[in-house]
Amino acid sequence: MIELKDVKLSFDENVILDGVTMTVPDGRAFGLLGSNGAGKSTILRLLSGIYQLQEGSIKIDGEDIYDNVKIKEQICFINDETIQFTNYTLKQLKNYYKRFYRTFSEEKFVKLHSVLNLPMNKKLSTFSKGMKRQAIVICAIACCTKYIFLDEAFDGLDPTMRIIVKNMMIDAMIDNGATIILSSHNLKEVQEFCDTAALLHGGKIIFCRELDSVMGSIRKVQTSFPTAPSKEDFPEIEILHIENSGSVTNIIAKGTEEEIRASVEKHNPRFVDMIPLTLDEIFIYEMEVLGYDGKDL
């Protein structure tokens, strides 16, 4: 289990994390979401023991991470940056990982490698961006660690490779009970692949919840009333947004389908169409509330 308590981190004057508290139970696929510069990569680097903790506490299985070999050999971090490995061949890279991880499985590596078309004896500098990423992903997954962290998980991978990487992670979860944390801008992928997600903004957690409870918690309602209503006409539900355009009223509201329908139907609507928001839309509305939107453009 991973526990962060009131974690604060700044570089010089810049506050990167401003009191982050969250828990990742074992066996989860956890998605870190957030605007650019929200602090996602910083959290992953702290969790991997790359950055030293300044304030607060981070425990993995009850222990500190920084300089803790026992915990660190259970963690594999796939950085979004691959430049540090460009002078290695894939064979050298594999042996590099193997040296540090006692759980490294040669058999697993051979199996993963057989799915991809990557040369073993060419330097990574001759690889395309996607190939470099693939090379590092298979080395990391072959480490068979309890924790796998991926920064910008699906970045630079084509649709087929995305599926392959996802399948590798599904196997790791089922076979090793792996806990996965991934950061991504691809909300659809997070929505499908993760069971829990945290939304970060400006170094703070906006929400950290199971996705099943996030999904379906906000609904978009298209309806039409004899007279155009305002927010105050629906005291029973929390209205995030209401807009009258012609005779049609669009409402974004929090609540279950029944709650919202009951409140809306008090005003004799001509029709009521209701659809749950996608994670993409929830992200945009939550960020809009915080003043992060493109409206001034």
Looking at beta carbons only, is 16 or 252 nearer to other proteins? 252
Question: Is residue 215 a contact point for other proteins (CB under 8 A)?
Answer: yes
The binder of other proteins chosen from 7, 20, 29, 182 (CB under 8 A)? 29
Kindly compute the dihedral angle of the four CA atoms of residues 26, 27, 29, 33, in this order, to the nearest 10 degrees: 0
Looking at beta carbons only, is 78 or 172 nearer to other proteins? 172
The binder of other proteins chosen from 53, 118, 173, 228 (CB under 8 A)? 173
The angle subtended at Cα 207 by Cα 199 and Cα 163, nearest 5°, is: 45
Helices (H) and strands (E) in the chain, counts: 10, 13
Least distance to other proteins, CB of residue 254, Å: 13
Q: How far apart are CA 79 and CA 41, in angstroms?
A: 9
Buried b (16+ CB within 10 A) or exposed e, 132-162: bbbbbbbbbbbbbbbbbbbbbbbbebeeebb
Q: How far apart are CA 35 and CA 44, in angstroms?
A: 15
Looking at beta carbons only, is 16 or 251 nearer to other proteins? 251
Question: Is residue 28 a contact point for other proteins (CB under 8 A)?
Answer: yes
Considering only residues 194 through 213, tell me which ones interact with other proteins, judged by CB under 8 A.
194-195, 211-212
The binder of other proteins chosen from 116, 170, 206, 284 (CB under 8 A)? 170
Q: How far apart are CA 196 and CA 282, in angstroms?
A: 15
Question: Is residue 174 a contact point for other proteins (CB under 8 A)?
Answer: yes
Two structure tokens written together for 291 = 């003043």
Least distance to other proteins, CB of residue 276, Å: 3
Least distance to other proteins, CB of residue 134, Å: 17
Looking at beta carbons only, is 7 or 237 nearer to other proteins? 237
Two structure tokens written together for 7 = 């974690």
The binder of other proteins chosen from 120, 163, 262, 289 (CB under 8 A)? 163
Least distance to other proteins, CB of residue 172, Å: 10
Question: Is residue 276 a contact point for other proteins (CB under 8 A)?
Answer: yes
Residue 149 near residue 179, CB atoms below 8 Å? no
Question: Is residue 1 a contact point for other proteins (CB under 8 A)?
Answer: no
Question: Is residue 226 a contact point for other proteins (CB under 8 A)?
Answer: no
Looking at beta carbons only, is 124 or 199 nearer to other proteins? 199
Alpha helices, H only, the chain: 40-47, 69-72, 90-100, 106-115, 129-142, 159-176, 187-193, 211-214, 257-265, 279-289
Interaction site with other proteins (CB under 8 A): 27-29, 163, 166-167, 170-171, 173-174, 189, 191-195, 211-212, 215-216, 219, 275-280
